[in-house]
Amino acid sequence: MKEQYYLDNAATTWPKPESVYTHMDQFFRNYGVNPGRAGHEMAVEAERMITETRRMLADFFNHQGDPHRVVFTQNATDSLNMALFGLIKPDDHVITTRLEHNSVTRPTNHMARDMNVGVTHIQRDTQGYVDPEDFRKAITPKTKVIVVNHASNVLGCVQDIAAIGKIAREAGVLFVLDTCQTAGVLDLDMQKNCIDVLTFTGHKGLFGPMGIGGMVVSENVDITPSRVGGTGVDSIAPYQPDVYPFRLEAGTVSVPGIAGLHAAQKWFADLGKQQDGVEDGASHKALCSAALKAVEAREVEHIEKLADAFRSMDGVKVYGPEKGQPRVSTLSINVHDLPADQVGTMLDADHYVCVRAGLHCAPWVHEDQGTVEQNGTVRFSPGYFADDEDIQQAVEGIKDIAEG
């Protein structure tokens, strides 16, 4: 019997690989100083670690450009705000979907209200998939950006970003991707998918701590800074430097957060080395790609087991992708007509199962599937470190509640 069964990795992954905790602690103790602001040895070491992390992440996402275009922020919300407000101007048009997290929906709503920006919201089918052709049809001469959530944080459906990216590139529209639910789970490739700005958060699949996120900006794009200030370089200049990362990194970055991401990148590479068929001397990207296959396979196995069990129970409604459709390890259900939060509380109190219940910051997903009245859905998201016991406990908990 465990103290708790953690199935809330879509909110944040827990636990992290052990090396993330130890490296953050050691790095912060020994080199927790302001990087780049001073020439002393400790500052140089902090800067070296940060630059190496930019390089690893550039490789991880197959950026193929200057690693200084890997920009650190506080989280994905910060990145999405900076990317959208830095690319979209008054009277522009933007295309997004009805599956977005509020970190996209609210900035674009504000733009529509305050900047006369036209916003088109692409509808989804009952499983949660959007049709890439709908983006092509929605493009107008004013369309500046397409911004899409790669995988829904409510339903787990994974969108066909290769097709959407191709349509955007052909039309000369910038493609901004929210990878919150996929970075560290699916093998992401900025080149293959024509991604112009890839936004990520550090504390989910990338196994970093909270308080660190970022974006990778392609060589063909320049984002106008919306936050300006100290950079530690070119201090005499009255305006923000144009060069990356300083263009978008104003103020002191989270050295402990970046140290966490650094250790996590090495953890992915080590996991890659343990996979069959990986050659000695393989690149960071190749190692991480092999690791991600293992992560994805394990997570999808967990979620399909849960989905199968829930589908077979009377009184349990399962939302989102049907079996075998492209998905990540996030699954929403409801039990009879019980409010979702009540089910979440019962799972926690009676079965020690940690899930998230509610609207998950994606209100339109619930409007479209009729779950607003039930206070949203109960969301299960087993991560890489979940095991069969976690899955079994969740199944028994829901069975118990459904049988009432």
- Residues lying near ligand PLP in the complex (CB under 6 A) are found at 75-77, 101, 103, 149, 153, 178, 180-181, 201, 213
Whose Cβ is closer to ligand PLP: residue 154's or residue 316's?
A: 154
Q: How far apart are CA 361 and CA 217, in angstroms?
A: 26
Whose Cβ is closer to ligand PLP: residue 77's or residue 254's?
A: 77
Whose Cβ is closer to ligand PLP: residue 193's or residue 393's?
A: 193
- CA angle at residue 244 from 20 to 180, to 5 degrees? 45
Least Å distance between CB 120 and ligand PLP?
19
Q: List the one residue out of 345, 355, 343, 340 whose CA is nearest residue 399.
A: 343
Least Å distance between CB 9 and ligand PLP?
11
Q: How far apart are CA 141 and CA 291, in angstroms?
A: 42
Q: How far apart are CA 111 and CA 313, in angstroms?
A: 44
Least Å distance between CB 12 and ligand PLP?
8
Least Å distance between CB 237 and ligand PLP?
30
Whose Cβ is closer to ligand PLP: residue 73's or residue 231's?
A: 73
Q: How far apart are CA 4 and CA 21, in angstroms?
A: 20
Q: Residue 358: count other Cβ atoms within 10 Å of its Cβ.
A: 17
Strand-pair partners of 99: none
Least Å distance between CB 32 and ligand PLP?
23
Least Å distance between CB 113 and ligand PLP?
21
What one-character DSSP code corresponds to residue 9?
T
Q: How far apart are CA 347 and CA 24, in angstroms?
A: 33
Whose Cβ is closer to ligand PLP: residue 16's or residue 101's?
A: 101
Q: How far apart are CA 404 and CA 123, in angstroms?
A: 36
What are all long-range contacts of 139-142, with beta carbons under 8 Å and residues at least 24 apart?
Answer: 139/95, 139/167, 139/171, 139/173, 140/93, 142/91, 142/92, 142/93, 142/118
Least Å distance between CB 121 and ligand PLP?
15
Least Å distance between CB 169 and ligand PLP?
23
Q: List the one residue out of 206, 218, 208, 211 whose CA is nearest residue 244.
A: 218
Whose Cβ is closer to ligand PLP: residue 291's or residue 362's?
A: 362
Task: Annotate 101-117 with b (16+ C-beta within 10 A) or e (fewer).
Answer: bbbbbebbeebeeeeeb
Whose Cβ is closer to ligand PLP: residue 178's or residue 189's?
A: 178
Whose Cβ is closer to ligand PLP: residue 153's or residue 375's?
A: 153
Which residues lie closer than 8 Å to 137 by C-beta, 6 or more apart? none
